[in-house]
Every structure is written in C-alpha cells, then in structure tokens.
Structure 1
C-alpha cells in the first residue's frame, strides 16, 4: 500500500499558514516552560522526600495545582494550531493510537486531582499515603508525556501507519528510533527547568538550601540533556540530520543558536545566578521549539508542503482571535495578580 494514499486531504485555511506556525511555536514554548517547571519540580521534590527531606516536596506541592492548570490551558493553544496546519497528520496518528491516546484525559485528571488532594489533605494523610499519592500523580504525568511523544512522532511517519490494517485496535510508535531520545530529551529538560523553578522559589523565600538544590539539579540535568540531544539528532533520518548539518541553512543556524543559548544558560547555572538562568532558559526553550518545528517540516517534506494548502483569505476570524487574545491575556494577568496577593499566592 502506498503510504501517501493514507494521508487525508488538507482542509483550506483562512489566512496564510505562516501565522499559524508562528503561533504554534510561541504557544508551545510557553506550554513547555510551565510543563517543565511543574513536572521537574515534582520529580525533584519526590526524590528529596524519598531521602527523608520533606521540606521541598511540601513547598513544591503547594504550587503544583495552579502550575498544572496553567500547563493544561497553555497546552490547548499549540495543539489547536497544530491541528489547523497539520491536522491531516495529527488526527490520523491520534486515531491510530486509539485507547492509548484517549486514556491521556483520564490519567491527566487523576494526576490533577492527586496534586489537589496532596495540597489540601496533607495534614490528614500519613507519610506513606502522601508519597504514594504524589508519586502516582507524577507517574501519570510521565504517561501523558510518553503518549504525546508517541503521537508527535507517529504523525511524522505515514510509512509507519500500515500496522493498523494488520488487526491492531491501537498501537504505539515503538519501532521509531527517534521516539526514545525525543521523550528522554523532553523529560530531562523538565528536570533542568524544574531545578530552576526550585531555585527561583528558594530565592523568593530566601531559602539558600532550595537555591543550591535547584541549581545542582539544573546544571546536571542540562549537561545530561545535551548528550541526549546529540542522541536525538543522530536518531533522526539521514535527510533530516543532514539538513541540520548544513543541508538547510535556516535549520542549521537555528540549531547553532539553540546550542549557544544552552551554553550561556549552563554557564549562568554554574555561577549560581537563577535570574540570569531564567532569561537564557526562556530563549533556549523558544529556540528548541523552532528546532522541533524544523524537525516536523523536514520529516513531512516528502509527503506534504504547507504551500499546497488552499487559503481563503478570510481575516475576520483572525482579527477576532487577536482581540480575544489581548482581552483574555489581560484577564489572566489580573487573576494572577489577585492570586499572588492572596495568602496562598504569597505562601
């Protein structure tokens, strides 16, 4: 069977596709920053608690419910923009995964409520129950992350869709050599940003122990992640790898800029400067979002090009979106201001 015959026709889009790609990259970078801070700090807190040090997990646990809520909400936008431009691939991979993908909703709800119970029923639970609840919630988030990695890699490989017709009700992208380094690269990156979040929390609370712990995790996880990034790069198909090695100048320059930014971020981490690290972290994550986008475009190049998608030039909905974006952003900023003014926010 010709894999091209399995790809649905792309639907017309109202405005030029570049707008949606820009919004996809920007919103995904914002989502990743919050996801990394939430998941990474949770893993670090759990690790400390397993060694009998409960101060950090208690402090982090108080922040996880709002962090997870922001992560989920910020994750909706990039998923929608992805479906606008690349829905003919993303919808197919989601359907092929079947129950594995649908389970993401229920597992995420479990983790969400697990963190809420941990926060508000902390005093009523024993130590064992706390760790079990917190740990299972973290495992749930790891499941969600692994399923997203499966979906985002499966959508790029129409030649890997054939097993669905061999009688599978839903399958994962186990055979893709890029799946594992891609997932680990994201998860270890979460440990690095989670360490930064712990250090910033320590700076806010004037807790030197948190700063030292956070920067220790940040620097070690970042160094490990650089090695995982090389593994991920080498696991890419030759055509994609060669594009980053000079075959595609914009993609190559983006990779070089990302590595340079990561180097500056790591340097600031060794100097124990969490605020400077935070600035470089935002830039590095944005550049990594661009690199991820180049990977997507290069993978799909033999099958699909955005230039082939019909454009209806209906800008009214786009202007309406921008209006709601500005108003909604202002409302969210106001809510956050009220939250940080409250007792829980200050805590």
Structure 2
C-alpha cells in the first residue's frame, strides 16, 4: 500500500498544465497581497514606535496612512488566496488533504485567526482616523498573521513528507500538533515573512501618489521604500539559498539536473539582484519611474520564486511516488473557455474595486 490515498476516479476536467498555470498566476497575486499585509504591519508598527519615541510627525502620519490600507490588503489576501488553494487541492489533493487532516485543529483554526486579525486591522484603521493609539493592536495582529503564515508553511512542507505522516497520526489523531524536525520549514517561513517587508518597500514608493502634495510623510515614504526594498531583498537571497540547501538530496538533484528549473533559479537570482539595485537607486533618485522598474523586477522575481517552489513540490512528491502529471484528463474546452473568461473578469473586478476603494479613502481623508 502506497503512502498516498488512491487517485480520484473522476478525471480532471482540464489539462494539468492549465491547472498549474492558473495556480501560478493566482499564487503570485496572493503572495503580493500577503507581502503587503505582513510588511505593512511590520513597517507601520516600527514607524509608530520610532515616531512616538522621536516625536516624528512624518513617521506617525506615515504609519497611519499604511494602517488605513491594511484592511484592503487583507481583503486581497483572502480573495486571492482561495483560488490557488483550490487549484492545489485539485492537483495535489492526495498529499494536501492528508497533511491538512494531520494538523486539522490548527488548519481549521486558521479561519478564526483570519477573522480575528481582520477585526484588529479594522480597529487599527478606525483609531488611525481618530488619531487614537493602535500600536498594541498592531503588535497582536502581526503576531496572529505571522502564526497563520507558520501554519500554512507547516502544511505545505508536511504534504511533501509522507514518511512523517504515520508518526504524527500516532501522536495525535485529532490534529493537535504541528510537525517538527523538518529542516525546510524555518527557511521557507522566514523567506515569506521577511521577504514581505522588502516587497512592501515598493508599495511605500508608490504611496505618495495617493497623498496630498503637502503631506508630511511623502518624503519619508520614498526614502524608506528603496532602503527597505534593498535591505530585505538581500536578506531574502540568503534565505532563498538556505531554502535550497535545506532540501533533501533527491530534491536538490532533481532541480539542478533539470534545465528548466535552473533557468527559474537563475531568473530568481538575477531579478533579486536587479531589485536590490533598483531599491538602492530609489534612495538617491526618488521617482515613480524608479518605482515602476523596481515593481517590474519584483514581479518577475516573485513569479520565478513561485515556479521554483512548484518545482520543489513536484520533485519531492515524485521522489515518493506521486507524479502530478500522471492523471486522466477529459477536457471540455467550451466549459474551460467560459471559465477562463469569467476568471479574467473576476480578477479585473477585484482589482478595480480595490482601486475605487483606495480613491474613496483618499477623498475621505482629504475632506474629512
């Protein structure tokens, strides 16, 4: 008997490559939302603490501007997080379902933790609008969001380790424990959490466009944006190397022996260096052209990271006998075409609604 449950007898309604493409696209968008949420919380809390200690009006007003946008970021985290999770379930359900059951109590708890952190973000935004104190709320929210990230990292790494499943189930059939002893877990989690701060630097570089010309935080946002981007992307390179080196020998060999994965790794490294250079340039030459260049490099970097991450998953599962490409497919292209049209419309509407909401927030702050 194999480590994985039997393949669902119902064939896939679309080719594997299409599900993978949709998973990559939606996961890139989801990761950006996560980056802005986690990094925004970190920077806002840091500025609040430093601003209070130094009596710095730009830091205090700048942190308020970030906080007002965090509920919107959480909206995108949730809505853009559901599609890639569903696509992952379709392709890797035999592994993901098992790992989710093994940490079932924590996995279900994520729902309540998200609701709780969402409420905290709205409380912070409300206090920011009334010049109230929100630092302690931000600290709690950051801890909760980071814990959610740890649970997700635990599940996404546990699904690649079927050799650990029996021992975990023997320890707790109720899903009360998170996995331990996985050398890949810490670097993957830190890569996402600390990398979020760097990507947030790009958002800080664009944020002055949403503020009045005489806003006290405009200069601070531009100056800090480039520095944060350069510093934390450098840290992320080191963490990326740690993620790779922590993989089992079979996974590292599978990645390095495949020319496509080597291209993705090289693209990730080159765009990371370019992003660092753009961030350093932005500290000396503030402007939206520089911010756009940094955003472009960052987007390709996150895309390359997602593709390498996908490769790690495929190679790791294949080493245990699960080939994601070995699935029966019965495609109905008219239905698939309709789905893709609706999918593009839905993504466009979500982005448009976010833009409208941000414009409304700007007008409210201007006249309020």
Same fold, TM-score > 0.5, yes or no: yes
2:232 corresponds to:
221
Q: Structure 1 residue 116 and structure 2 residue 122: aligned?
A: yes
After the TM superposition, which residues 57-96 of structure 1 pair with which residues of structure 2 at under 5 Å, given as runs? 57-96=63-102
In structure 2, stretches of 5+ residues that fail to align are 53-58, 283-289
After superposition, give the CA deviation of every residue in 1:151-190 in whole Å (9 maximum; x if it has no partner). 1000111111012332413222221100000100111110
Partner of 1:339 in structure 2? 357
Secondary structure of the residue aligned to 1:266 is helix
The answer on whether the counterparts of 1:340 and 1:346 sit within 8 Å (CA) in structure 2 is no
Native 8 Å contact 1:244 1:255 kept in 2:
no
- Offset of residue 336 of structure 1: 3.6
Question: Residues 15-71 of structure 1, C-alpha deviation per residue, up to 9 Å, x if partnerless?
Answer: 211100011011101111121012102101101212224222211011001111011
Sort the Cα spacing of 1:307 and 1:275 in 2 relative to 1 into closer, same or farther, 3 A: closer
Partner of 1:212: 223
Q: What does residue 104 of structure 1 align with? A: 110
Output the CA distance in 1 between the equivalents of 2:27 and 2:268: 16
Is the contact between residue 202 and residue 209 of structure 1 (CA under 8 Å) also seen in structure 2? no
The 1-side partners of 2:132 and 2:158 are apart by 42
TM-score, length-normalised on structure 2?
Answer: 0.87
Is 2:43 the partner of 1:39? no
* TM-superposed deviation, 1:211: 1.1
Is 1:140 the counterpart of 2:107? The answer is no
Tell me the residue number matched to 2:246. Answer: 235
Q: Measure how far apart 1:330 and its partner are.
A: 4.2
Q: Name which of structure 1's ranges 114-123 and 210-219 shifts more when overlaid on structure 2.
A: 114-123
State the distance in 1 between where 2:354 and 2:230 align. 30
Q: How does 1:1-347 map to 2 (within 5 A)?
A: 4-10=2-8, 11-51=10-50, 52=52, 53-122=59-128, 127=133, 130-168=134-172, 169-170=174-175, 171-202=177-208, 204-205=210-211, 207-245=218-256, 247-272=257-282, 273-302=290-319, 303-344=321-362, 347=365
Counterpart CA distance in 1 for 2:148 and 2:115 is 11
Question: CA offsets per residue over residues 92-147 of structure 1, 9 Å max, x none?
Answer: 111110211111111111111111111124466853xx111111111111011100
User: CA distance change for structure 1 residues 332 and 231 in 2, over 3 Å: closer, same or farther?
Assistant: closer
| Aligned-residue offset at 1:204 | 4.4
Residues 337 and 230 of structure 1, relative CA distance in 2, 3 Å threshold: closer
Number of residue-to-residue matches in the alignment: 342
RMSD (Å) for aligned C-alpha atoms:
1.9
Structure 1 residues 334 and 257: CA distance shift in structure 2, 3 A: closer
Shifted more, 260-269 versus 193-202: the winner is: 193-202
Q: Which runs of 5+ in 1 are unaligned?
A: none
